[in-house]
Amino acid sequence: MHSKLALPAVVSLLLTIASISDADAADGLLEVYGQIRADVIYDDSRPDAAQTPTFILSEAPDEEDRSNFTMHPRLSRLGVTFEGPVLDRLAAASMSGTLEFDFQNGGRESRAAPRYRHAFVNLSWSTFSVLIGQTSDTISPLFPAANGDTLMWNAGNLGDRRMQLRLTYQSQGEDLRWSLAGALGLSGAVDQQDLDADGVRDGEAAGMPSFQARIGLSYPIGARRLSLGLWGFSSSEELAEPIAGRASFDGRAIGIDFEVPLGARLLVRGESWNGSNLSDVRGGIGQSVNPLTGREIDSRGGWIELGGGPAPSYQAFLGYTLDKPDDGQVPDAGRTRNTAVYLANRFTLSGGFTVGIEVLRWRTEYQGLPEGSDNRLNAYLVYGF
């Protein structure tokens, strides 16, 4: 019942906002944006979820046909950004915010449920800003070009979206710039982990938020900028009833991100990380704690891609991703390695239309089970506005 009511309510809200006077629109206080997107996907072996894949299911060697076909418009998106008034009582802070929805939240295929992706308010001064609300994690700020929904999460790319309080300092200048950001976030926002099944998320039961921080540097190279980032993550979880003799668990990660221009039309970018108990930030192939040993599962990984094109109308991205948990810490039937090689093609047409064709060779290995390997073809059409 709730999902049936939610979509009309969201549409009504956005139509009401869009009807604000022309004077307000001319002042740049409000902007409605979005995209209409249709995806067609074929897998010759089945992932854990056809529309939102993060790994490939184990398959016995004698199984011949595990193909899967799906098509959907769930990544269509609608959002509103606003520029609020200058707040004189807060040292002339400028207020802004974003509210954004898509439709990848379950429901029947003909009755998809909306979900909010971003919902935050930001207060900014000349070099300092304070954000509160849901948006992307501070760590792992880059995204691979392939797999536009789950962004190679649990396959090498960390980070997601969550409720957070973030403080950011951004230096000014044309040449060398640096930034420092720190955030307190909701633990369990992604994995919803409740190992003791007491109805309380283990991260919330710890009585403290997770912490993320990143320091970044950028420098111009021609018309583009080289950027480097160093970041870290930590979290705590508490159980009411111990498992394998333990009731407290910690999560941690340290990583880097980089973007390096190679001339005017090419770019190499990626991320590398190492950590433990990372399911809430999309690491460890979605595995956090071994329930038999009570030990956090260590993992390492990252991704790298080379992208660009001969003209703005065509770009291609060749990439590789890896998430590699420690074999000795993963239980029987657990996932021990998740890799993908991909080629993502984007054709930008006139009038805001983009056609994408992505090919992925994806493999997931298991502890004591046959691996899963998949050739995935994803074609899509996007109209952005």
Determine the Cα–Cα distance for residues 385 and 351; give it in Å rounded to an integer: 9
d(CA 214, CA 37): 32
What is the CATH number for 103? 2.40.160.10
36-72 burial, b if ≥16 CB within 10 A, otherwise e? bbebebebebbbbebbebbbbbbbeeeeeeeebeeeb
CA 222 distance to own-chain centroid: 30
Q: What is the pLDDT of residue 20?
A: 42
Residue partners of 206: CB distance under 8 A and separation at least 6 = 187, 235, 236, 237, 238, 248
> Which pLDDT score, from 0 to 100, does residue 25 have?
42
The predicted pLDDT at position 34 comes to 97
Asked if 343 and 359 touch (Cβ cutoff 8 Å), the reply is yes
Helix (H) or strand (E) holding 26: helix 22-26
- The 3-state DSSP class for residue 16 equals helix
Q: How many residues does the chain have?
A: 385
38 Cβ contact list (under 8 Å, min separation 6)? 71, 72, 73, 380, 381
Residue span of the structural domain in which 299 resides: 2-384
What letter represents residue 74's amino acid?
Answer: R
pLDDT of residue 186: 97
Looking at the structure of the chain, the number of domains it has is 1
pTM above 0.75?
A: yes
In the chain (385 residues long), the average pLDDT of successive 10-residue segments reads: 42 47 52 97 96 95 81 97 91 96 94 96 96 98 96 98 98 92 97 96 96 97 94 97 95 98 95 98 98 96 97 95 98 97 96 96 97 97 97
Q: What is the largest distance, in Å, between two alpha-carbon atoms of the chain?
A: 71
CA 242 to chain CA centroid, Å, is: 31
d(CA 226, CA 378): 31
